[in-house]
Amino acid sequence: MDYKTKRKIKRIASQVLLWIAVIIVIFPIVYLVAISGSTSNSIRTGTEFQHISIHRYIKNFIEMQKNANFFNYFKNSLIVITITTFIALTLSIFAGYALAKFKFPGSNLFGITMLSTQLIPPTLILIPMYLIFITIQRTIGLQLIDTYYGLIIPYVAIFTPMSIWVMRGFFANLPSELEEAARIDGCSRFQAFRLIMLPLATPGIIATGIFIFLTAWDELMLASVLTTSAKVQTIPIGIRLFIGRIQNRFDLTMMAALVITIPVAIIFFALQKYFVQGMTAGAVKG
Amino acid sequence: MKKTIKKYSFAYLLILPSIISLFIVQVIPSLQGLYISLIKLNQFTFKDFLKAPFVGLQNYFFILFDPNSMVRVGLLGAIRNSAIFTICVISGTLVMGLGLAILLNQNFKGKGLARTLLLLPWIIPTYIVGLLASFMYSYDGIINRVLVNILHILPEPLSWKVGPLTLVSIILITIWRFFPMTMLMYLAALQGISKDYYEAAEIDGANDLQKFWYITLPFLKPVTAMMILYGLIQHIYSFNIAAMMFGLGSGYPGKWGDLIMTNLMRNSFSLWQYGPGGAASIVLMLLVLLLVMVWLKIFKDSITIE
């Protein structure tokens, strides 16, 4: 066998291997999409693929909403996470910019403190948080448990540190000369930041925003302790109650799972370029 | 002092909001957590926790050394499980991510499609992954059916969710959820390696394995280091997948699959063991800190922090 044929065989083999991997990897997702349009009984008895139909998808969708008031949780998640993303993103743009462009006394300390918060086990701050919230309510009557801002405040602080580092990476790559030129032309510090640096950092801002949104959309532990009523509970809690309430309706549970995944998928596909670029830029440069 | 503050006032103004949020949500609660680990806090003293009796290191003794404490047995088991879990998930995602990145790093038709499909697990929320896994892993579930009836790999269905296989099933589904990120990082790093190196090696008569070992791997070391650190923090504190797979609140995974976070959440919020819970969180943090220091020692040369 000569060199060329050997190379060709290798190429084909590696592609076959890749596509086998693709099939295995997407199988659970295909399964999720498939069985959300099947019946509960057929999922239990292993004949789910024989009962999938468009009619079933619609029926399951309507029943899911009727049985669990699903869109209430969806709305709560959307409100909490949109506000969280907006605030956390603003904070990380400011701090990331400051860290990238100024070498001020305490900047190292600030950066390292930010990073070391990542080492804190969530349970260490969750228990005190819960107690502090209860104490505040008892002493000054301000209710924090089971409110939107009682969830938004911890979320903002928890998702900010990582985002600051990602934003810092983006700003560090932007040339400072443009900013200096704007300063010479009479811009104030803030104007130079807002008019010159901010537009240049747009891809990074989008990437960081998606990163915060996706992580917050996935948060379960804090929400399970800091919320108690359907008024503010987010999707992961809602879906959990949902399983308890209508036992063994696998089809409806999977329909809910599908509906929850769709907005994330849309955001991901629409902004994939920025997201992929952002994640790799942040990590590879370390 | 006053002068520097004035000189850098803009920078300080920019980081001020972050500092405030850092203090409110991370620093103060952490200090309070340290305090809670030193007091006797349970359902009886909970009502007025500032007046709870100070017990010093008793909680630490209780969770680490007390031979009669069931909490200690459970926690040590969970730490062992989490250690196995973290090591397996990190190595699994690294191997799978690198393998697929290498396969993706060539020119062929449908490359973009393959990459997008492989990234898909990444966008499924982890609590959905846990939920889906709990269906797929059930005794009559699709995984057993494929392995037994379709592929004929196994003679009979396995019990994935009860007994010794519990941890294996959590590990497998977690690797599935998290490998895409590693793959993406490796792919970006692979594209940064100049072709010249490989050509020079080929002229010198290097085979594929040698090229991989002496060129590719050294170039990937910084990414590997970052992914290990990221995985360490992410997976030691892993909660969602296991919690959703086995149902929050009720029993959690049981001793075969109990992880540190499921154990701590159950002990603290279902069994009212706040003091021991706080102590365990502190111990855990010190453990992670130690691991990060070991990590720094090993990868010191390949990481440059500007």
Residue A246 has pLDDT above 90, yes or no: no
Q: How far apart are CA B272 and CA B184, in angstroms?
A: 42
Contact: A17, B239; criterion CB under 8 Å: no
* Average pLDDT score over residue span A231-238: 88
The sign of the CA dihedral A175, A180, A183, A184 is negative
Query: What pLDDT sits at residue B252?
Result: 66
Q: How far apart are CA A159 and CA A214, in angstroms?
A: 11
Minimum-distance CB partner of A132 among B12, B29, B260: B29
Chain B interface disruption, residue of A26, A49, A127, A190, most B CBs within 10 A? A127
> How far does the CA of residue A165 sit from the closest CA of chain B (Å)?
12
- pTM for the whole thing? 0.90
Query: What pLDDT sits at residue A286?
Result: 38
Chain A interface disruption, residue of B109, B119, B123, most A CBs within 10 A? B123
- Residue ranges of chain B with pLDDT lower than 50? 305-306
Q: So what's the ipTM on this one?
A: 0.88
* Average pLDDT score over residue span A256-266: 87
- Highest mean pLDDT out of A19-23, A168-172, B135-139, B153-157: A19-23
**Residue whose C-alpha is closest to residue B143's, from B173, B117, B118:** B173
Minimum-distance CB partner of A123 among B14, B268, B304: B268
Contact at 8 Å (CB) between A68 and A251? no
> How far does the CA of residue B227 sit from the closest CA of chain A (Å)?
8
Contact: A221, B17; criterion CB under 8 Å: no
Contact: B237, A284; criterion CB under 8 Å: no
Residue B16, classed as helix, strand or coil, is helix
Q: How far apart are CA B196 and CA A72, in angstroms?
A: 58
Residue A153 has pLDDT above 70, yes or no: yes
Contact: B127, A45; criterion CB under 8 Å: no
Query: What pLDDT sits at residue A284?
Result: 46
CB pairs under 8 A between A and B: 246
Query: What pLDDT sits at residue B291?
Result: 93
Average pLDDT, chain A: 86
Q: What residues pair up with B54 in beta bridges, in sequence order?
A: B39
In this complex, is the C-beta atom of A217 within 8 Å of any C-beta atom belonging to chain B?
yes
Query: What pLDDT sits at residue B150?
Result: 87
* Average pLDDT score over residue span A92-98: 93
The sign of the CA dihedral A237, A238, A241, A243 is negative
Nearest CA in chain A to B125: A218
Nearest CA in chain A to B134: A250
Q: How far apart are CA A85 and CA B82, in angstroms?
A: 31
Name the residue with tokens 């949500």: B25
Q: How far apart are CA B136 and CA B146, in angstroms?
A: 10
Reported as a single tens digit per residue, the pLDDT across B216-274 is: 898 899 889 989 998 998 999 999 999 888 876 555 677 888 899 988 888 887 777 78
Minimum-distance CB partner of A31 among B119, B142, B223: B142
Query: What pLDDT sits at residue B178?
Result: 95
In this complex, is the C-beta atom of A115 within 8 Å of any C-beta atom belonging to chain B?
no
In this complex, is the C-beta atom of A110 within 8 Å of any C-beta atom belonging to chain B?
yes
Q: What are phi and psi of B39, to 5 degrees?
A: -120, 165
Minimum-distance CB partner of A218 among B176, B240, B265: B240
Contact: A123, B281; criterion CB under 8 Å: yes
Query: What pLDDT sits at residue A285?
Result: 46
**Residue whose C-alpha is closest to residue A235's, from A248, A246, A224:** A224
In this complex, is the C-beta atom of A233 within 8 Å of any C-beta atom belonging to chain B?
no
* Average pLDDT score over residue span A40-48: 77
Residues of B whose CB is below 8 A from A124: 29-30, 33, 278, 281-282, 284-285
Contact: B176, A25; criterion CB under 8 Å: yes
Range of weakest confidence among A120-124, A281-285, B164-168, B205-209: A281-285
Residues of B whose CB is below 8 A from A249: none
In this complex, is the C-beta atom of A109 within 8 Å of any C-beta atom belonging to chain B?
no
Residue A129 has pLDDT above 50, yes or no: yes
Minimum-distance CB partner of A284 among B36, B108, B223: B223
Query: What pLDDT sits at residue A85?
Result: 95
Query: What pLDDT sits at residue A22?
Result: 96
Contact: A125, B123; criterion CB under 8 Å: no
Residue B110, classed as helix, strand or coil, is coil
> How far does the CA of residue A108 sit from the closest CA of chain B (Å)?
11
**Residue whose C-alpha is closest to residue B177's, from B260, B236, B101, B97:** B97
Residues of A whose CB is below 8 A from B118: 21-22, 25
Tokens of A148: 């939107």
Residue A70 has pLDDT above 50, yes or no: yes
Contact: B125, A260; criterion CB under 8 Å: yes
> Which positions 76-105 of A are in contact with B (Cβ < 8 Å)?
90-92, 94-95, 97-99, 101-102, 104-105
Query: What pLDDT sits at residue A266?
Result: 86
Minimum-distance CB partner of B261 among A123, A132, A218: A123
CB proximity list for A262: less than 8 A, separation 6 or greater: none
Q: How far apart are CA A111 and CA B178, in angstroms?
A: 27
Angle at B292 (CA atoms; ends B228, B18), nearest 5 degrees: 95
Residue A247 has pLDDT above 70, yes or no: no
> How far does the CA of residue A55 sit from the closest CA of chain B (Å)?
22
Q: How far apart are CA A65 and CA A74, in angstroms?
A: 11
* Average pLDDT score over residue span A197-208: 87
